[in-house]
A and B are shown apart, each in its own frame.
Chain A
Amino acid sequence: MNIIDRRPNPKGKSLANRQRFIERAKDEVKRSLVDALKRRKLGDAEGGEKISIPARGIQEPSFQHARRGGNRDYVVPGNKQFVVGDKIERPKGGQGDGRGKAGNSDNGEQDNFEFVLSKEEFLDLFFDDLELPELIKTNLKETEATQLTRAGYSIDGTPANLNLRRTMRNSLARRISLSRPSPSQIDAIRRQLEFARAADDFEGAAQGQHDLEAAERRAKRFAFIDPLDVRYNRFDRVPKPITQAVMFCLMDVSGSMTEAMKDLAKRFFLLLHVFLTKRYKHLDIVFIRHTSNAEEVDEDTFFHSRETGGTIVSTALEEMLRIVKDRYPPGQWNIYAAQASDGDNFSEDGERCAQLLHDELLPMSQYFAYIEVGADATLRHGFPSPPTDLWRTYAEIAPAHSNFALRRVAEPSQIFPVFHELFAKRRDKAA
């Protein structure tokens, strides 16, 4: 008998099969992800997701008897009152007496197939065909940040960077090529000499003495490690892409924004957040809410508290500009902004907004998305409705900036398509 502990064996033997399965069910999985998104909160965007997909594409068919028709009999346990000749009502909507098909739940029995996606799988699928806007790459080249990277060897450097292995290799090669006698060779000569002396072999002793002196001389002349052998690790400074980003969420919280509208905005922010987390090592979020004046708040306040007052959008843009100048120098941070509003604005303010965006914010941002959320009733029928003040203002400057996008959203189901559209690979020029 043999007892073997297999626990240390590598886990995840089925991983490859699992990936194949997800690949196969990809379309279905994605569709149900969009549904799943509707249930999610910003806070739990990080976890995995339980997914339920129709079993259609992943069925493994086999020849089966039909569930109905024909003459069948069943032998079942637990008779309590029946005697031969009794008639039993057919169970409603069921097959026979509810006898399960033995062990074959794979076949057609279930309409939906449920399983859990890990966080990575979830995000991979979610953003499968999305990418960051092209312009970022040009921007990255100008970055200041650098990183030390190994770049071969050099013949000078600090002792801390001494590469022992390389140095010893050179030393060994040199010693061999110059036939420097090794300590063991010298020892051998010395032993021979002693042997000759012990045997009173004067001639041999004299020869041995000579050899020994010659070898010792040679060993002294050629150093064990010569400065020529020494090598140091070399490091180069390589410009490093900025891996930190900041995301500004700007939202109008004035009385005209209903809860439903805020919810729409929240969904969009959530998506952007998850998307950016996946692309950047470090991501800060700044929440700025505004009515007739703007302030930076935390997430809870941002989404849940209500304010009253008029609407002056430019205050939020100014606040964002201030924070950027204060804390997020554009040279070191990738700046993303998403603004959500119902489109109301103090009519005198439009020009100021346009100017702020055009001159200051857009040139320093990687991407600026404006999402106009509308109440269902006004937008569901006869979309597009007449453009709002803010939309008109923004639409004027949009063509000049490829990193500025405007979209309207009326229902939760539109969020993902809109997001998708904004970041899709080979996207069109921003609207």
Chain B
Amino acid sequence: MTNLYPISLEAGGPTLFQGSEWDFEKLRRVYGAIEEIAVGEMGLDTYPNQIEVITSEQMLDAYASIGLPLMYRHWSFGKRFAREEALYRHGLMGLAYEIVINSSPCISYIMEENSMPMQTLVVAHAAFGHNHFFKNNYLFRQWTDAGGILDYLAFARDYIAHAEERYGVEAVERVLDAAHALMDHGVHRYAKPPKLNLEEERKREEERRTFFETHYDDVWRITTTFGEEKRDPDLEAKKHADIRKALRLPEENLLYFIEKRAPRLEPWQRELVRIVRHISQYFYPQKQTRLMNEGCATFVHYTIVNRLHEKGLISDGALLEILHSHTSVVTQPDFDDPRYNGINPYALGFAMMRDIKRICTEPTDEDREWFPDIAGNNDPYGTLRHAWANYRDESFILQYLSPRLMREFRLFKIADKEGAETLDVTAIHDARGYKEIRAALARHYDLARHEPDIQVKDVDLAGDRCLVLSHAVHDGIPLDEASCNAVLDHVAELWRYGVRLEETDAVTDKVLKTYEEPARR
């Protein structure tokens, strides 16, 4: 994109806009100036940008469909909309200034209610910060296909609308409800998924259907043997192992397993499960990089608006307005503050990015000791770009959280031991505690630990086809009973036969608790 508005960019020139009213002309001018800094000075590399101006009502709509511009119909989105709307109308919640979509071109929605300084902030934040992150972070590069997502969503919406017409809204809803319940467990965590391509997707859907219609799945053959044949335990064990191998067990992607192996699903039902699985997979990187993504975008907008001000392109008033909302976004209340609700990803993310810049340019002795690779290398943006491209929240914290920042946030670690009367403070921000705090905090950002560890363990093929799931209990933290029962109900809806979930201790392999859900008739 060439800069169409090379107006006087030297310091002391006229500012890009006056007052708070925005119009498209000003937006274009500001975009050009921002791009100059983002690309020229910070070296950001983005997808082409598409900025769409929407009303607050449309913003609520976008909220409801988890931020995606095209979404299939489901009551849960209506529920979300109803609540957001109630909160918004009663003034309990402000709307986000923007929503940005990981697609190519990268779509940023900005609200018409924003003032011009806010639009400046938003363009820098979303169209350059998030956009750069989406394009460069390894998780996004590996797991999502920015070019194909919009097409795929259109395909999904049409497919589901079509299914509703053909099989009834209720039948479709039952499958979607069940698949949604397993959404968190519908991602491949390690293997790289194939890229999405609309045409291929359609063709493959077609192929899958004909395949299922013409082939009989041998795995499900009824293997009853009669009378005289001696039961050979070794042979049976081997058979069992073979089948497990054929089914590629254990499998941690529950939706994938159900889509491929559920014995009594219709082809269209499998396709619905597949759609939900794909959407879940699309969001998986976002869940793992929230802190970094917001930190990156916040750092980018902060740097850019300050540079704009230094160049005399925005007025003092505009800068102050921007900094006002910037500050409220990156506030981190203390743990005993009523506003405290966990660690604010904007606050910690932004602080870490700034800290990295500081380490690169003005390192202390402590920094040289902790970060010998980057301390004083005087290439802050290069260092940051490297970090943004190659880490996720967990590894990023483990690598870059500095002692100085831990002191600044006054982080401390408390342990909550089962059965103990009190909570224990086990580490604070001092020389003995830095490493422990850093490791513990990083663990909290590890989705594999944050979400229950559930796998498909076995299927009773010779018997009642019962699906056996297992939950590996770490640190003695069990599943929430009510929600577990509700989810198993949904699993049985898809599997149609019985479902059993065993909670086993991750260390001792002892079965702690078993949930059962009977077969559906």
Contact = CB atoms under 8 A, between A and B. Distances in A.
Interface of A: 1-7, 9, 11-14, 16-25, 50, 58-67, 69-80, 82-90, 96-100, 102, 107-108, 113-116
Nearest to B345: A102
Contact of A77 (B54, B61, B410, B433): B410
Interface string B412-428: 11111110011111111
Contact of A79 (B31, B75, B411, B483): B411
Contacts of A61: 181, 482-483, 486-487, 490
Contacts of A18: 78, 81-82
B246 interface: no
Interface residues of B, number: 100
B190 to A, nearest CB: 19
B276 to A, nearest CB: 12
Contacts of B57: 11-12
Nearest to A88: B423
B86 A78 contact: no
Given A73-B415, A88-B414, A100 B81 contact: no
A139 B346 CA distance: 68
B58 A11 contact: yes
A9 B481 CA distance: 45
Interface in B61-95: 61, 64-65, 73-79, 81-83, 85-86, 89
B183 interface: yes
Contacts of B430: 84
Main secondary structure of the interface of B (DSSP, over half): mixed
B112 interface: yes
Q: Choose among B35, B182, B429, B482 the residue with the greatest number of A CB atoms under 10 Å from its CB.
A: B482
Contacts of B61: 11-14
B425 A73 contact: no
- 3 tightest Cβ-Cβ pairs between the two chains A and B: A78-B334, A21-B78, A70-B477
B343 A17 contact: no
A62 B482 CA distance: 10
Contact of A62 (B49, B418, B487): B487
Interface in B164-181: 169, 173, 177, 180-181
Contacts of A73: 413-416, 426, 440
A142 B302 CA distance: 76
B257 interface: no
B416 A76 contact: no
Contacts of A71: 415-418, 475-477
B259 to A, nearest CB: 18
B220 interface: no
Contact of A107 (B65, B341, B483): B483
B196 interface: no
A84 B412 CA distance: 9
Nearest to A11: B57
Contact of A65 (B53, B334, B477): B477
Contact of A82 (B31, B112, B412, B477): B412
B40 interface: no
B295 to A, nearest CB: 15
A77 B411 contact: yes
Given A17-B78, A114-B83, 5 more contacts: A2-B105, A5-B24, A11-B57, A64-B483, A85-B425
Nearest to B432: A84
B116 to A, nearest CB: 14
A273 B86 CA distance: 27
Nearest to B25: A3
B335 A88 contact: no
B83 A80 contact: no
B424 A86 contact: yes
B55 A108 contact: no
A17 B75 contact: yes
A63 B53 contact: no
Nearest to B332: A77
A125 B252 CA distance: 44
Contacts of B184: 62-63
B476 A70 contact: yes
B340 A84 contact: no
B79 A21 contact: yes
B509 interface: no
A76 B342 CA distance: 7
A65 to B, nearest CB: 5
A78 B89 contact: no
A97 B81 contact: no
B78 A20 contact: yes
A69 B181 contact: no
B480 A67 contact: yes
B316 interface: no
Contact of B77 (A14, A22, A96): A14
B335 A50 contact: no
A268 B60 CA distance: 38
A427 B343 CA distance: 59
Interface in B330-354: 332-337, 340-343
A23 B86 contact: no
A5 B109 CA distance: 10
A64 B444 contact: no
Given A5-B53, A14-B77, A21-B79, A82 B425 contact: yes
B185 interface: yes
Contacts of B181: 60-62
A73 B474 CA distance: 12
A71 B477 CA distance: 7
A2 B51 contact: yes
Nearest to B453: A63
A428 to B, nearest CB: 32
B477 A1 contact: no
Contacts of B418: 69-71
A404 B204 CA distance: 67
Contacts of B410: 77-80
B81 A17 contact: yes
B199 interface: no
Nearest to A58: B79
Contact of B75 (A9, A24, A84): A24
A4 B334 contact: no
Nearest to B62: A13
B391 interface: no
Contacts of B425: 82-88
13 contacts: A2-B48, A4-B50, A11-B57, A58-B79, A63-B483, A66-B480, A74-B416, A75-B444, A78-B335, A87-B421, A96-B416, A115-B85, A116-B82
Interface string B445-481: 0000001101000000000000000010101111111
A118 to B, nearest CB: 10
Contacts of A60: 76, 79, 177, 180-181
B112 A75 contact: no
Interface string B288-328: 00000000000000000000000000000000000000000
Given A2-B51, A76-B411, A7 B112 contact: yes
Nearest to B423: A88
A77 B413 CA distance: 9
B452 A6 contact: no
B27 interface: yes
B1 interface: yes
